[in-house]
Amino acid sequence: MGKLAGRACVVTGGARGIGREIALAFARAGADIAVVDRRGDLAAGTAAAASTHGVQAHAFTADVSMEQDVAAAMSAAEAALGRIDVLVNNAGIITTAPLADMPVPVWDEMIAVNLRSVFLCSKAVLPGMTRRRFGRIINISSQLGHKGAPNMAHYAAAKAAIIGFTRSLAREAVRDGINVNAICPGAITTELGGDIPSGLRARRLAEIPLGRFGAVGEIAPTAVLLASSEGDYFVGATMNLNGGDVMV
């Protein structure tokens, strides 16, 4: 029996990168999985890979920045899995622009995808978790939410807000048996990271004391910990997996 045997978990942005690796790690630990992503074809691929571990695995297409999409996806996931015990708010985008030149739609898209989605998805699963007196919400923030970065004010703002959201909801929900925590990865090698200009990537690498970028497989074990009974005493925590880039 795995650490997550019998648990029903939803991972947003689970089509690739960190989200995909978390979904697969959950499946290996025995959890039933629902993958939610706006790339339904890739989400289905993650679900298919998860199912090879002998668990239920489903894929749902949704833009998690849209309230109607979130409501439909979470309802479908709950129907398929029977309930939602664990939510991982992982969906996100990365773009870069100097603030003075940043178009308002670029700012708005970042806040919608990286922050509004966390609110919408958490709000959707909270009633069921509250009724059952059990739940785990894991929000994927970033070390840039602590330190910021040039040309990424919109991204850093959204990720910093996730940390504040996590701490506030943790205090609000813990009495109902719901633990809310955040993971703040550093620079991780993913497909999404390919959207970062090469000059910025080189500067980021030079700032990391460990001297390398992280791998998606180095993030997933912390998500498994927070979703499992071994993570019961983590409440409002920010887990900083960043090779020493930010030490808090």
Question: What structural domains and CATH numbers belong to the chain?
Answer: 8-237 (3.40.50.720)
Q: Among 57-66, 187-196, 211-220, whose mean pLDDT is lowest?
A: 187-196
Mean pLDDT value across residues 67-82: 98
Instruction: For 10-19, write each residue's pLDDT tens digit.
Output: 999 999 999 9
Note the pLDDT tens digit of each residue in 122-163.
999 999 999 999 999 999 999 999 999 999 999 999 999 999
pLDDT digits (tens, 9 = 90+) for 194-203: 556 677 778 8
Q: Is 233 annotated in the active site?
A: no
Which single residue is written with the structure tokens 């709950």?
78
Q: How many residues would you count in the chain?
A: 248
Element (H, E) at 12: strand 8-12
The predicted pLDDT at position 193 comes to 57
Tokens of 172: 């609000």
Report which DSSP code applies to 3.
T
Q: Which of 155, 165, 213, 234 is catalytic?
A: 155
**224 alpha carbon, distance to own chain's centre:** 12
Distance CA(217)–CA(18), nearest Å, equals: 8
